[in-house]
Each structure stands twice: as structure tokens, then as C-alpha cells.
Amino acid sequence: MLIAAARIVTASATSSGASAVLAPGYVSCADGRIVAVGSGPPPGKPDLQLRDGVLVPGFVDLQVNGYFGIELAAADFADWLTISRRLVETGTTAFMPTFITSPLDDMANALRRAAEFHGKLADGSQGARVLGVHAEGPFISPRRPGAHNTEWIVNPDPGAVGTLLAAGGGNLRMVTLAPERDGALAAIKQLTAAGVLVSVGHSDATAQQVSAAARCGAAMVTHLFNAQRPMHHREPGVVGQALADSRLTSSLIADLHHVSGQVAAIAFAAAPGRICLITDAAACAGMPPGGYVLGGEPIELAEGDGTPPKRSDGTIAGSALRMDSAVANVVATGVGLAEAVAAGTRIPADLIGRPDLGRIAPSAAADLTWLSDDLRTIATWVGGQQYFGPHLG
């Protein structure tokens, strides 16, 4: 397949750290991989001619609690398959199912069940690739629980961490925890030794405690600004350390409700190349207003474009965000298109050690999304196979 496009954002970092934009450009794919990328007209007659919009790598979302009425932690394989097949409508071609805090035994059971599904959905042959599970909790701070149930929060002692690792069977890929909890630094070492990405989140940690977590192997901060100690001019907190520390990349929920547009722009300016976009989507995403669940407990999605769901006490509980909308929202704040696309593609892929995803480059997977000029998904390919959009062959 040879694609010619009016614009291509490759998301491949240049020597200056920026992402390349080709206008026009072409991409050649074979056997599910990209074999050539270039600027200017293609070397031969293209199979597809994209005369407007922009071709970008498929989005990589590291935090999806649910979608289309389905909560992933409690879902069966058929429901996982539904989400995998339909997430491509939003431009997402790889995602990380996320389980929020629940009783430890329940989390372990959910991880065991997920381990049965992961292998069937990891290669992209059914739709968006499943990247493994993100456990957001239960090792978080009761001072910053957000929508998590504080009764189920526990310390990350070696036994509890080992329980989740064993239940995940190698499919536990990311854990969000609070580094100020007893045993947290040892837990970070235990998790990173097992190949798990550790992220600081739902945390009341000081900047010094976040720095200590980074020294032990933590590489990320979960949903920057939300459910964490804010930045103060005398105590930088989680936010200040996240923005200043080159060892840390922060995820951001860019629905413009969790974080204002001005603050999102500040984050991109303060930490260039270290912001990744996530949806933190709950089961209400892609659905009409009404009642849904997150972590097995009720949430309500009200009327309003982009408004996030809430618990009965008014606490924001996940989002109803799409990844293409996240990119569009960030661009609307003044962030460059290339930087916004990289934040939704290459940067999260690199965080989880997947250099084959999130970029348009030779040898990378042919996971591609064609966006309209207003950055809405028109068509999506996973491994070179079109899963969404009008027939373009």
C-alpha cells in the first residue's frame, strides 16, 4: 500500500527534538509494517491519495477504564473485543486497559481474567492493540483519592505487589502509586525489576519524595494536576517536580475540564517532549448522558460537550474524551500540531518500550490515522489493515 498525503506528521523526533512534518509526503507499507517514508510526490502511482487533512500515527492511550458502556475491569472477552474494534473510530490504535482501586483480591482476579484476553488482542488483528493492563491503585494516598474508594487503599508491601504481579502473568504493564506510602520506594524497585512502568499519581508527595521515586525507577506522573499535591513556590509538590524533572513524563487529560487550556499550554511549554495525552475514559465515553460505573461504583454523565462524568458528591470520575479530541484541544491552546500529535503517539509508545508504535517511520507498525482539517478521525489502519472509515482502496 502506497499512500500519498497532503500532510503527514511522522511523530519521529528530529535531531532538534521536534517531530517531522511532510507537506506533501508519502508512506509505503507492506506486511503490516511501514517500509518507506518520504517528502514530496510518491515514487509511483499511489494506492490512496489523501488530498486534505493530515495523516498521523495511530494514537496510543495509556489509560482507558472503559468505553461504549463497558467497564474493562469487569468485562468479558466479547466486551474487550467490542472496545478494541470500536476505539479505532477515535483514531486510537493501541490502548492500555486501566483498573482503578478495588479490594486487592478483586484486582488480582481482574488481572487474571485480563491475562486470558491480552494475547488474543495484542497483535492488532482484531482492531486496536491491547498493550497490557494499567493498575491505577490500590497503592495510592487517601489524601488524594479522586474518584477512588479510600476503603480499598493499601500499602505497597512486597506481598501485595507480588500478588498483582503474579495475577498479571506478565500482562501488568503499568502501576500508578503514591511514593510517600510506607514501602513505596521498595515497591517501585520491585515493579520496575519486573518490567512494569511505575507512575506517580493520586499522591500527596513532596517534590523530594517524587524525586526519590524517580531515583528508584519511576518514569511517569499520572494525569498531571489532578489528584496530586499542587505546585507551591516553596514546595513544588508532585506537579512542580513533574515539570522540572527530566526523568519524568506526565500524562494529561486534555478535555479542558480536568485541566484548563491555559494550564495545559503551560505544561507543554515547561516540559517539552515530556507530556503524553491520555483519555482516562470511563464506560460513559462514546455514550449518551446517563448513569454508568467506574470501579464498580456509580458515575453520572451529564449533558454538555466534553463534560466529564462525576460521582454523586461532584467528584470528577474519569472522562468521556476521545484521543483525536484531546489532540485538537491541545492544538487549540496554541501547542503546535506536531508536538500535540507526538504527545498522543510516540511519547506514550516510548514510555512503555514500544518503539514499533506511535510513529510513521520505516520498520514501525503500519498503524495510521487520517484526520480531517479539524482533527477528527476519518479513517484508521492497524497493521496496514483498514478498520474504520470509508472504503479508500
Beta bridge partners of 258: none
* Sequence-ordered list of residues with C-beta below 8 angstroms from that of 240, at least 6 positions apart, any chain: 207, 231, 232
Closest Cα to residue 137, out of 114, 110, 117?
110
User: CA angle, corner 150, sides to 178 and 62, nearest 5?
Assistant: 50
Query: Residue 356 carries which DSSP code?
Result: T
**Sign of the CA dihedral with 14 first, then 360, 274, and 263 last:** positive
Q: Which of 61, 204, 280, 367 is catalytic?
A: 280
Question: Strand 197-200 vs strand 220-221: parallel, antiparallel, or unpaired?
Answer: parallel
Residue 374 has, within 13 A of its CA and on its CB side, a CA count of: 0
Amino acid at residue number 241: Q
3-state secondary structure of 56: strand
323-332 and 261-270 are packed helices; what angle lies between their axes, rounded to 10 degrees?
80
d(CA 44, CA 359): 23
Has 313 been annotated as catalytic? no
| Integer Cα distance of 113 and 106 in angstroms | 11
In angstroms, the CA 131 to CA 348 distance is: 11
Residue 28 CA to residue 40 CA, distance in Å, equals 13
DSSP string, 245-281: -TT-EEEEE-SSSSS-HHHHHHHHHHSTT-EEEE--B
Burial 153-163 (b: 16+ CB within 10 A, else e): beebbeebbeb
Q: What angle do CA 145, 352, 112 make, to 5 degrees?
A: 65
CA distance 39 to 27: 9
- Residue 24 preceded by cis peptide, ω within 30: yes
Residue 259 near residue 284 (C-beta atoms within 8 A): no
Are the C-beta atoms of residues 34 and 251 closer than 8 Å to each other? Answer: no
Place of cell 454523586: 312
The catalytic residue positions are 280
